């Protein structure tokens, strides 16, 4: 350990780096069986995509955006995605923070409640809601956004929960308050910046869910992007498949961009390493 | 809110020494369910004083500190700073700096930003914040680490930044919640000297909670020993060690031998001193004498009253464990030079070197 005053960080860090089992620091072992699993799983995902690509051909992609109804359906899906994401964050983030800070004993209950939308089929949810929803809501596609908030709840809650678990939230809040910060400053300057990656995860998952949801939109008789793809499938198979692939690629690019942007900022500041469902605290220095 | 000392001297680092506040914890009680964490705690801290609360886990010391900080509310009793009741004032407005046990730096801010956070909350201008935060980092020996983020700092460095951050707001009360317990021994020793030196220089009234008696005794002006939510004794470290008020304090602070009074004769003492005897009518019945390891003397003797069963080298001293009759094992501190010839299994003669610390009922 370095001397306490004017300590040399390099000295502090040295000795904390695991040297690895092989005794060759920096060389990663990647056993053969891992390659086998990777190839099998990769093939499982890649073969249908390659088949779809072969079926549709690259020439179909530019045509997708010129098809009738594409713009309206895509725009509606994007609008729903934005509204759903905002509502989800506004509702779920304070709830999860409150449970972590004030009602930690309810965390298990919250986990149970938030898993319900996965257990209950979407068709049951939408049919039930359509029975009881007031007319003014049924006449607008934004009823779907409210339903999507419920569908996104399991993913958003877990993203926030993972983010909060990676922080010592109670201590950070108390430290902030002891320095004179009120709740608003604590939320804005301490909590949210440290939950940025968790919010990005929740956003990614919510957007992916909304852009791909078919059952509810179809039963609510609104033509979102997935509903349009299915409807267009009756007219032109190759273009419909191209639209599906396009949706998939756009979502992937979106996920990748968010993960990269979030991860880069977080790594620089030593925040949590966040992948979609897991958040791990970065190694803080020893003593 | 407490006012700052207008004519405070500038210590180094651009931090003014404060006048320090008088803190009064009055008859504080707090229960968590069926557990009574605090049971009528009353404590006064004089301006500029460092008081350590010492006690085993669950004795209520952290609860007392958290009530003073404003993070907990007492079921009854009050907290006053400079005579003014602050019980109803939220933590954010109490003007108390706090250093936590776990590294509590904001991960999204650099060391400099962490230190200037409290100044920002007080709406100080950017240049002034920068100047004062830099000065404080310099004061804790981390001037070069201002731009580093917490994960790039070692634990000791993080706690020094946390200390600088707590001092940046020029608090009149500084609260230390076991700030050294997560650090390794060497860093702990250096940091505790640094904390004490800064505290004395700045004159900040400080409440320090710890379960480490060495830390408490070496840093504090006075040490309060707590047990089951109550203050057993509060005194200077010397007094606490030499004249404990209760057997609990006597045995909790330092090493203490508990020897049945019936063995006194064996140790060469004819009778207990009159002022130590709780029941003069039956002086040796049901009582033990409490003697520190340095209060016993040991000499090698084939016809001695004990057998050495262990020895621990402590540097200048060697601690010998000796089994007396009745299977009573006592610890005796001996100069290492004198203990050099004594090994486990050797017969020795143990005798009292002076009066016992106290007599306690068994």
Q: What is the ipTM of this complex?
A: 0.82
pLDDT at A128: 86
User: Does the pLDDT value for residue B151 go beyond 60?
Assistant: yes
pLDDT at B351: 86
Question: How far is the CA of B112 from the CAs of A10, B143, B147, B150, B252, in angstroms?
Answer: 20, 9, 6, 10, 40
Secondary-structure breakdown of chain B: helix, strand, coil percentages, each rounded to the nearest 5: 30, 30, 40
CB contacts, 8 Å: B33 with chain A: none
Chain A, 152 to 171: residues with Cβ < 8 Å from chain B are: 167-168, 171
Nearest chain A residue (CA) to B158: A285
Question: How far is the CA of A214 from the CAs of A209, A218, A240, in angstroms?
Answer: 10, 6, 15
Average pLDDT of the segment spanning A20-40: 70
Q: Specify the long-range contacts of residues B68-72, CB closer than 8 Å, at least 24 apart.
A: B68/B23, B68/B25, B68/B96, B68/B173, B68/B175, B68/B207, B69/A174, B69/A178, B69/B94, B69/B96, B69/B98, B69/B175, B70/A177, B70/B94, B70/B96, B71/A174, B71/A177, B72/B30
Average pLDDT of the segment spanning B248-276: 75
Q: Checking DSSP bridges between strand B84-85 and strand B76-81, what pairing results, if any?
A: antiparallel
Q: How far apart are CA A98 and CA A216, in angstroms?
A: 31
Cβ contact (<8 Å) for A175 and B106? yes
User: Does the pLDDT value for residue B246 go beyond 60?
Assistant: yes
Check if A4 contacts B (Cβ < 8 Å).
yes
Cβ contact (<8 Å) for A284 and B150? yes
Q: Grade residue B260 by pLDDT with cuts at 50, 70 and 90.
A: confident
Of residues A122 and B66, the one with the higher pLDDT is B66
pLDDT at B283: 53
Average pLDDT of the segment spanning B93-116: 92
* Residues sharing a CB contact under 8 Å with residue A100, sequence separation 6 or more, in sequence order: A107, A161, A164, A169, A170
Sign (positive/negative) of CA torsion A134, A138, A141, A144?
A: positive
Domains plus CATH for chain A?
Answer: 63-283 (1.10.3720.10)
Cβ contact (<8 Å) for B106 and A179? no
Provide the terminal-to-terminal Cα distance of chain B, rounded to the nearest Å.
50
User: Does the pLDDT value for residue A21 go beyond 70?
Assistant: no
Q: B92 — phi, psi (to 5°)? A: -65, -20
Check if A38 contacts B (Cβ < 8 Å).
no
Read off the pLDDT of residues A94-107 as tens digits, 9 standing for 90 and up: 999 999 988 989 98
Nearest chain B residue (CA) to A269: B108
Residue B75: how many CB atoms within 10 A of its CB? 14
Average pLDDT of the segment spanning B38-64: 94
**Strand ranges of the sheet holding B173-177, from the earlier edge strand across to the other edge:** B96-99, B173-177, B205-210, B50-54, B222-227, B230-235
Sign (positive/negative) of CA torsion B271, B277, B282, B286?
A: negative
Return the axis-axis angle of helices A142-165 and A122-132, rounded to nearest 10°. 130
Q: How far apart are CA B40 and CA B43, in angstroms?
A: 10
Q: Grade residue B234 by pLDDT with cuts at 50, 70 and 90.
A: very high
CB contacts, 8 Å: B182 with chain A: 287
pLDDT at A2: 34
Question: How far is the CA of B177 from the CAs of B22, B104, B162, in angstroms?
Answer: 19, 11, 12
Q: CB–CB of B182/B150 below 8 Å?
A: no
Q: CB–CB of B168/B133 below 8 Å?
A: yes
Question: How far is the CA of B78 from the CAs of B50, B90, B97, B223, in angstroms?
Answer: 20, 14, 20, 21
Interface test with A, best of B104, B143, B145, B198 (most A CBs within 10 A): B104
Cβ contact (<8 Å) for B118 and A182? no
User: Does the pLDDT value for residue B44 go beyond 90?
Assistant: yes
**Minimum-distance CB partner of A178 among B97, B106, B194:** B97
Work out the angle at residue A74's Cα, subtended by the Cα atoms of residues A71 and A78, and round it to the nearest 5 degrees. Answer: 135
* Residues sharing a CB contact under 8 Å with residue A18, sequence separation 6 or more, in sequence order: none
Q: Grade residue A287 by pLDDT with cuts at 50, 70 and 90.
A: very low
Q: Grade residue A286 by pLDDT with cuts at 50, 70 and 90.
A: very low
**Minimum-distance CB partner of B165 among A179, A268, A285:** A179
Q: CB–CB of B319/B331 below 8 Å?
A: yes
Question: How far is the CA of B323 from the CAs of A183, A264, B310, B319, in angstroms?
Answer: 61, 64, 9, 13
Read off the pLDDT of residues B295-332 as tens digits, 9 standing for 90 and up: 888 888 888 888 999 999 999 999 999 998 778 899 99
Cβ contact (<8 Å) for A286 and B184? yes
Interface test with B, best of A105, A171, A179, A286 (most B CBs within 10 A): A179
Residue B158: how many CB atoms within 10 A of its CB? 26
User: Does the pLDDT value for residue B5 go beyond 90?
Assistant: no
pLDDT at A277: 46
Q: How far apart are CA B157 and CA B164, in angstroms?
A: 10
Q: Which residues are registered as beta bridge partners of B96?
A: B173
Average pLDDT of the segment spanning A198-217: 88
User: Does the pLDDT value for residue B274 go beyond 60?
Assistant: no
Interface test with A, best of B69, B146, B156 (most A CBs within 10 A): B156
Q: Grade residue A23 by pLDDT with cuts at 50, 70 and 90.
A: very low
Q: How far apart are CA B152 and CA B117, in angstroms?
A: 19
Q: Write the burial class of residue A229 (CB in 10 Å: 0-12 exposed, 13-18 middle, 19+ buried).
A: buried
Q: CB–CB of B102/A170 below 8 Å?
A: no
Q: Grade residue B181 by pLDDT with cuts at 50, 70 and 90.
A: confident
Mean pLDDT of chain A: 80
Residue A243: how many CB atoms within 10 A of its CB? 28
Q: Checking DSSP bridges between strand B96-99 and strand B173-177, what pairing results, if any?
A: parallel
Q: How far apart are CA B141 and CA A181, in angstroms?
A: 26
pLDDT at A135: 83
Cβ contact (<8 Å) for A286 and B92? no
DSSP H or E segment with residue B279: none
**Minimum-distance CB partner of B183 among A12, A194, A287:** A287
Read off the pLDDT of residues A226-243 as tens digits, 9 standing for 90 and up: 898 888 777 777 888 888
Share of chain B above pLDDT 90, in %: 57
Distance from CA of A210 to the nearest CA of B (A): 31
Q: Grade residue B288 by pLDDT with cuts at 50, 70 and 90.
A: confident
DSSP H or E segment with residue B32: strand B23-32
């Amino acid at each position: 350990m370095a001397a306490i005053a004017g300590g040399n960080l390099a000295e502090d860090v040295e000795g904390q780096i695991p040297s690895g089992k092989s005794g060759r620091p920096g060389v990663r072992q990647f056993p053969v069986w891992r390659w086998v699993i990777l190839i099998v799983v990769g093939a499982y995902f890649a073969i249908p995509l390659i088949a779809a690509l072969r079926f549709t051909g690259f020439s179909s992609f530019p045509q997708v955006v010129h098809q009738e109804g594409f713009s309206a359906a895509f725009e509606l899906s994007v609008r729903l995605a934005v509204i759903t994401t905002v509502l989800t964050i506004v509702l779920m983030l304070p709830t999860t923070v409150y449970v972590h800070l004030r009602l930690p004993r309810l965390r298990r209950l919250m986990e149970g409640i938030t898993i319900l939308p996965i257990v209950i089929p979407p068709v049951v949810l939408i049919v039930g809601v359509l029975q009881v929803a007031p007319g003014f809501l049924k006449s607008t596609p934004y009823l779907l956004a409210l339903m999507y908030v419920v569908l996104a709840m399991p993913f958003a809650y877990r993203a926030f929960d993972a983010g909060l678990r990676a922080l010592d939230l109670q201590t950070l809040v108390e430290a902030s308050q002891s320095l004179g910060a009120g709740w608003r400053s604590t939320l804005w300057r301490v909590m949210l910046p440290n939950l940025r990656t968790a919010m990005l995860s929740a956003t990614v998952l919510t957007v992916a869910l909304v852009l791909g949801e078919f059952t509810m939109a179809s039963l609510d008789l609104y033509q979102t992007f997935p509903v349009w793809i299915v409807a267009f499938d009756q007219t032109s198979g190759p273009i419909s498949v191209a639209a599906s692939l396009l949706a998939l690629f756009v979502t992937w690019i979106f996920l990748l961009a968010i993960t990269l942007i979030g991860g880069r900022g977080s790594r620089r500041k030593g925040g949590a390493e966040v992948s979609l469902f897991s958040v791990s605290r970065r190694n803080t220095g020893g003593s | 809110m407490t006012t700052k000392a207008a004519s405070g001297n500038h210590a180094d680092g651009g931090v003014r020494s404060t006048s320090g506040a008088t803190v009064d914890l009055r008859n504080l009680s707090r229960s968590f369910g069926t557990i009574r964490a605090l049971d009528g705690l009353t404590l006064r801290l004089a301006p500029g004083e460092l008081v350590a609360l010492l006690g085993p886990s669950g004795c209520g010391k952290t609860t007392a500190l958290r009530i003073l900080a404003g993070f907990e509310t007492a079921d009854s009793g009050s907290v006053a700073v400079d005579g003014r009741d602050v019980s109803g004032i939220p933590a954010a407005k109490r003007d108390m700096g706090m250093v936590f046990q776990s590294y509590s730096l904001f991960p999204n801010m650099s060391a400099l930003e962490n230190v200037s956070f409290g100044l920002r909350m007080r709406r100080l201008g950017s240049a002034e914040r920068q100047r004062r935060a830099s000065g404080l980092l310099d004061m804790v020996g981390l001037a070069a680490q201002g731009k580093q983020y917490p994960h790039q700092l070692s634990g000791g460095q993080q706690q020094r930044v946390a200390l600088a951050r707590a001092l940046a707001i020029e608090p009149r009360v500084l609260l230390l919640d076991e700030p050294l317990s997560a650090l390794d021994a060497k860093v702990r020793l250096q940091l505790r000297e640094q904390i004490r030196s800064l505290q004395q220089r700045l004159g900040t009234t400080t409440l320090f909670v710890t379960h480490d008696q060495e830390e408490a005794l070496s840093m504090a002006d006075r040490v309060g020993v707590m047990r089951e939510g109550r203050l057993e004794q509060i005194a200077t470290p010397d007094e606490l060690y030499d004249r404990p008020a209760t057997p609990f304090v006597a045995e909790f602070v330092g090493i203490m031998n508990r020897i049945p009074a019936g063995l006194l004769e064996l140790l060469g003492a004819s009778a207990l001193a009159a002022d130590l005897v709780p029941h003069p009518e039956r002086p040796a019945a049901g009582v033990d004498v409490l003697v520190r390891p340095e209060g016993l003397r040991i000499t090698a003797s084939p016809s001695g009253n004990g057998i050495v069963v262990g020895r621990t080298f402590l540097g200048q001293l060697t601690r010998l464990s000796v089994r007396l009759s009745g299977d009573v094992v006592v610890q005796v501190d001996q100069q290492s030079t004198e203990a050099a010839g004594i090994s486990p299994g050797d017969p020795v003669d143990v005798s009292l070197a002076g009066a016992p610390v106290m007599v306690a009922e068994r």
